[in-house]
Amino acid sequence: MNAPIDWLLEGEPYIQYRTRRDLLAQAESHPAVQTARAAMLNSTLVQNLLIDLSGWPGTVIASHKSASQPFHKLTFLADLGLLATDPVVDTIIARVMAHQEPAGPFLLPMNISTQYGGSGQDQWAWALCDAPLSIYALAKFGLQQHPAVQAACQHLLGLLRENGWPCVVSKELGKFRGPGRKGDPCPFATLAMLKALSVMPDFNDSPACHTGAETLLDLWQHSADRHPYMFFMGTDFRKLKVPFVWYDLLHVLDVLSRFAWLRDDDRLRDMILIVKNQMDARGCFTIESVWTAWKDWEFGQKKTPSRWLTLMAWRVILRVEQPAGAALIPAGS
């Protein structure tokens, strides 16, 4: 079974662009890539996303899991392939970087009630389930080597334990901690940190990434009986959904598949097999769980196969199964 390239290239400009870049490995200078990218930047969906994020940071965070959170929109914008040199992106970056803790992490407005150990007041703060995602987006925008991004990354790296990253928040949030044992790793914080480090060239093959990856793969291997901080890897976890917002199978695979040194891990390939088993006869995938905040996008429905989901699934599959160093699909095929 091959990826349905022709079908993907019939999709919206952002799907065409990422298909050409991620599956066909066509260079940014390729005329078809440039055409798709220009159309993507001018599309109503992307323009609306830029307008929305230009008011960063938006509303006070209630739930990190909410797909409408600005920092989830920010990571999606970065995943599309926008750069700091694109119109409006520089404005968004400046607003993100305007609020940074002296120790490093970028801040967001939050309100944790006194019932959960917070102050009950709106305040600028960070948690390990959001701070790495700001780093990821800024790095993807092209700021991997920016001193502020490096400082934020180094600070969060220092929070690593031998079993992954724990549930940690800035001092402004008081004694808040998620529903789990203090010594457990937080699966989502670990996933978010791996995501950020995967796009930082100095850290992609670091001991920290090896520790974090082992944490997630070990949780998968023992998913029947280990659920730290109430993150399960059961039926809901295995439903295919995009964009990448929370702790689910394809999101975990998208991050872990970025590390070439994991490609032969049996646990990773076991996860890949679950995805492949949900492919239809044409090589397409259908959304199984929808984030309603993204209902205007082509992946905001469960009735027909989704090109964006199909692209994300095939990208993961081919990262793991293609020979090391090979293009995912030869350009021009």
| Structural domain boundaries in the chain | 1-42+234-333, 58-207
Residue range 214-241: average pLDDT?
93
pLDDT digits (tens, 9 = 90+) for 277-288: 999 999 999 999
pLDDT digits (tens, 9 = 90+) for 119-133: 667 889 999 999 999
Q: What is the dihedral of CA 140, 143, 148, 153, to 10 degrees?
A: 40
pLDDT confidence band for 230 (50 / 70 / 90): confident
pLDDT of residue 331: 44
Separation between Cα atoms, residue 64 and residue 246, nearest integer Å: 8
Separation between Cα atoms, residue 33 and residue 26, nearest integer Å: 7
pLDDT confidence band for 117 (50 / 70 / 90): low
Residue 325: Cβ within 10 Å count = 6
pLDDT > 60? residue 260: yes
Residue 28: Cβ within 10 Å count = 12
Q: What does residue 282 show for φ and ψ, rounded to 5 degrees?
A: -95, -5
pLDDT of residue 195: 98
Retrieve residue 239's tokens.
Answer: 């439903």
pLDDT > 90? residue 1: no
Place of tokens 């996008």: 297
Residue range 48-67: average pLDDT?
88
pLDDT digits (tens, 9 = 90+) for 294-312: 999 999 999 999 999 999 9
Read off the pTM.
0.94
pLDDT > 70? residue 326: no
